[in-house]
Structure 1
Amino acid sequence: MFLFKLVARRDCWVLMLAGVAVSCGQVVLPDSEVATIPSISRPEPAKTAIDSAYYVVQPGDTLYSIGFRSGHGYQVLAAWNGIKPPYKILVGQRLKMFDPGPEKPTIVKPSNDPGSLVRAPVEKRNSSQKKSIVSNDKKKLLKLHWQWPITGIILKNFSQSGRKGIDISGRLGQSVKATEAGKVVYSGTGLIGYGNLLIVKHNETYMSAYANNSLLLVEEGEYVEKGQKIAEVGKLASGQAALHFEIRKNGNPVNPLEYLPKN
């Protein structure tokens, strides 16, 4: 038989049932019946902060989006990490977010003299070659003739945006057009604060960005023409229908009003 015993303690009753105490709505088991919850050792998540010395590539990242977000630009990150065109990166890849400095010269051992060491020859460009490269770059830049992505009033200028583009008022669903011809290098929602974002690469120096869209109409890798509809206007964080627009030069934001035609 079970032994039942009621014991009054202040404002609650204790029921002793075969060695099990029920007190104030709680069940207390004998030490022999208490289950020990095993501790689970979980690995620490990899560092993904964009301002860390290293960045671990996440799903959906591209070198262009990482360069855009960090402000370094894809060309600089490619140089720092030895990444060559078409700038492919892999999930989990660890990228240097700093200049590692010049590489040590390659040492070559001639087969006829194993004991001697010589430096690998370094290709040098003469002044005429340098001038031709500079002039070619200038020609490429001169080919860009920017147009406004949408027609609207400037809600926030370059200074007011913290030197990161401008906000242009619009209508929800209004057509967003490419300001110049180029290749879409990012199309998605992976950059916090930019919503539905498109980044178009126009040449090795300039890119344009179109943020907070309600709809994206082009995909990564697609080539777009100047004036082509690429998205539709969405809302800013304030709830107002508008487009956030940026122009990046070598990865750094520049004032779009210095490039867009004067109305």
Structure 2
Amino acid sequence: MHLNHVSIFLSRKMIKTIVLSMAVTSIVVVTGCASKPQAKGGNRYVQQAPNYYTVRSGDTLSAIANRYGLNYLDVAALNDIAPPYRIYVNQSLRLKGSVAQRTTSTQAVAQTTPIQRQSINLPPQQQPVVPKTQPVVPKVAPTNPITPTSTTLASSLHWVKPSNGAVIQSFNLANNVKGTRYGGNEGDPVFAAANGQVVYAADGLKEYGNLVLIKHIDGYITAYAHNSKMSVKSGDNVTAGQKIAEMGSSGASRIMLEFQVRLDGKPVNPTTVLPN
């Protein structure tokens, strides 16, 4: 019985020794794994950073940099990424390289910024010059539609009356009549007042209905409004006296032709250029 107790005691002691040795071995293994060298900042993956990284869904520049223990500003400089540092899926990012590149790119931005500011500041310097000349133009403008321009025009173009109808309303800017209005019947012919080119033939302006615009030399344009039918189209060359439309009431309350003459965009009294 005494020997049995001794053998049992020895068996238990051996088991404890084995268990303790296994525990020590496990501690050594764990300690060995934890004692691998780490880079500054405690990020063990710095040395494993690839030369290039492909952006995945959900990635941000700062998250990628932190993953490899890098400064996101350096990564942005290496890849020419400007604030707010946006990246996109499948974009290839360079993770290794000289940080000096960021300084170079920063200097380049600093050099271009003043140039942009100078280009923006130039117009304000020119603007004060323009208003000084503009007040002079309105003072001269009222004299433009008078005798000198009409005399020059009469010697440059051969003019004819645009309609055979009677005049029902004359040029009167105070009453917003910017031309001469002729009466007649629907379908009466409308003639080109001078040689020129049709630059518009459509009904895009409701107040003028079917409208034809003809461009002439010396900066003159003639307008023929309220037609029932147009016989020309944009781009057509016409001669004085050629039929270009038929009288109607489109855009008006009665049948008539509203004929306008404009010089450099300003209305001119048609009687100063048309034959008596």
The structure that is strand-richer by fraction is: 1
Q: TM-score, length-normalised on structure 1?
A: 0.45
Q: TM-score, length-normalised on structure 2?
A: 0.43
